[in-house]
Amino acid sequence: MNASRLTQLLEFYREDPADAFTIYALATEYLKLDMNESRRYYELLLAEHPNYVGTYYHAAKLYNDLGLPEKAEEVYQKGLKISRQEGNMHAFSELQQAYNKFKGLDYEDED
C-alpha cells in the first residue's frame, strides 16, 4: 500500500465526503491493508451511491472473501439489476461472468 496515496485519498474524502470516486478509491486502497475498512467504504457506496456500478463487482468479491457468500450473492444480483438499468452492458457482462464463477457455473474447459 502506498501511504502517501492513502493520505491523499483521505484528504480528498474530508474535502468532499460525497464523492463516489474517492470513496471507491479508498475502498480499493484499503483492500491491501484492512478488509473491514475496505468493507466500510464499499458499504457506504452501496448505500449512498447505488448507481456507481463499479462497486458491485469488488464488494461482492470482498464479501465472499470474508466468508459471507449470501451477502456476496445479494450484491452480485443487485449489481446485475443496476448495471442493466443504467445501460452499462460492459459492467453487466463482467458482473455476470463473476457471478457465474461464484455460483460454479463457469463452463471453461479445464484441459
Write out pLDDT tens, residues 7-32: 999 999 999 999 999 999 999 999 98
Q: Specify the pLDDT at position 71.
A: 98
3-102 belongs to which CATH class?
A: mainly alpha
Mean of all residue pLDDT scores within the chain: 94
At 50, is the secondary structure helix, strand, or coil? coil
Radius of gyration of the CA atoms of the chain, in A: 15
Q: Specify the pLDDT at position 110.
A: 54
Q: Specify the pLDDT at position 106.
A: 73
> Is residue 38 a contact partner of residue 68, using CB atoms and an 8 Å limit?
no
- What percent of the chain has a predicted confidence (pLDDT) above 70? 94
Cell 457506504 belongs to 44
Quick: pLDDT tens for 59-68: 999 999 999 9
Residue 1 or residue 23, greater confidence: 23
**pTM listed for this prediction:** 0.89
The residue-averaged pLDDT of 81-104 equals: 96
Return the domain boundaries, the chain: 3-102
Which of 28, 83, 22, 77 has the alpha carbon at shortest distance from 52?
A: 83
Which of 36, 34, 47, 102 has the alpha carbon at shortest distance from 69?
A: 102
Instruction: With a cut of 70, say whether residue 111 has pLDDT above it.
Output: no
Contacts of 84 (CB under 8 A, 6+ apart): 92
Record the cell numbers describing residue 105, joined without a space.
Answer: 457455473
Written as one string, the DSSP assignment of 83-110 is HHHHT-HHHHHHHHHHHHHHTT------
